[in-house]
Amino acid sequence: MGPTPTSRDDLTSRVLPQMILSDKSNPLTRPYSPLSSDLTVAQRAAARFSVRGNAIVTGGCGSLGIEAARALLEHGASGVSLFDVNLAQAQDIVDRLRSDFPSATIITKKVDVRDQQVVQAAVAETADELGSLDILLCFAGVVACNHALDIALEEWKRTLDINTTGSWLCAQAVAEQMVQQGTGGSIIFTASISGHSVNFPQPQVSYNVSKGALLQLKSSLAAEWARYGIRINSISPGYMDTILNEGEGLEEARRLWYSRNPMGRMGDPSELTGAVVLLCSRAGRYINGADIIVDGGGSVF
């Protein structure tokens, strides 16, 4: 027998849980103390965009993840844990990062973000090895381009499981650690212009849906978790010049993408780092529930 259906009486007697917001007396959400007047102009400028603590970067060995990790380290992060399913092929990149930042702790974890147990274990290990978790950047993702009538159910599920559910599993595990620490933190999802409008010319409904859902996930968690001092934001890149957009078969698509962008090109992965640093630094203290579009103006049309 299956579960007993919920009766009408049970439905009408429900008590809804209530969301709890922060208030101005909460030390986890009030403004930072002013920067010291003893600092020089240059020191104040550096302090405004300084990054403190340790970060997890999912998809951390991909071009976007590595650029973001490097930026956090340049701005003061003390440790970074790179989550990725393909660690072996990125060893040279990781070694270079360690060489460039010898005073930082840089670790790697083989993680499939679809596996809740693996995610939870990797987050717990990272917190233990680095001492705290203060930042989560979700870059793990896949792209699927298919006509809607041709998409198999398993392919649909795979796209949403990695892009959307994977981001949620990582965020929940990291937030639990941040709440336990009582120190707050910053979580950034990688949405996309695909979450705002339909791409052209390629059909990619499963990808678009997975990214649109991240925008609502960002907003929902920003409302719920602010009282813990956890800020949730997202960035929405346009077409980026990565391996995902390379190959002779994409030449015609790239021509169209360039022609519809005011800046006439794709973005370089390094051009996402300004938004990442802003959202993870002192300068982003009051930014919560926001999405920053980084697309060269392509979405204005």
Contact 163, 190 (CB under 8 A): no
Alpha-carbon distance 243 to 145, whole Å?
15
Contact 246, 202 (CB under 8 A): no
Residue 176: how many other CB atoms lie within 10 Å: 15
Annotated active-site residue 192? The verdict is: yes
Indicate the DSSP class of residue 217.
Answer: H
Half-sphere exposure of 236 (CA within 13 A, CB side): 23
Annotated active-site residue 218? The verdict is: no
Contact 187, 173 (CB under 8 A): no
The active-site residue out of 63, 194, 211, 228 is 211
Alpha-carbon distance 152 to 260, whole Å?
31
Token pair for 114: 């679809």
Of 119, 224, 225, 226, the closest CA to residue 165 belongs to 119
Q: How many residues does the chain have?
A: 301
Annotated active-site residue 211? The verdict is: yes
For tokens 């990619």, the residue is: 204
The active-site residue out of 186, 207, 218, 281 is 207
Residues pairing with 79 in the sheet: 54, 105
The active-site residue out of 78, 192, 210, 234 is 192
Q: Helix (H, G, I), strand (E, B), or coil: what is residue 108? A: strand
List active site positions. 192, 207, 211
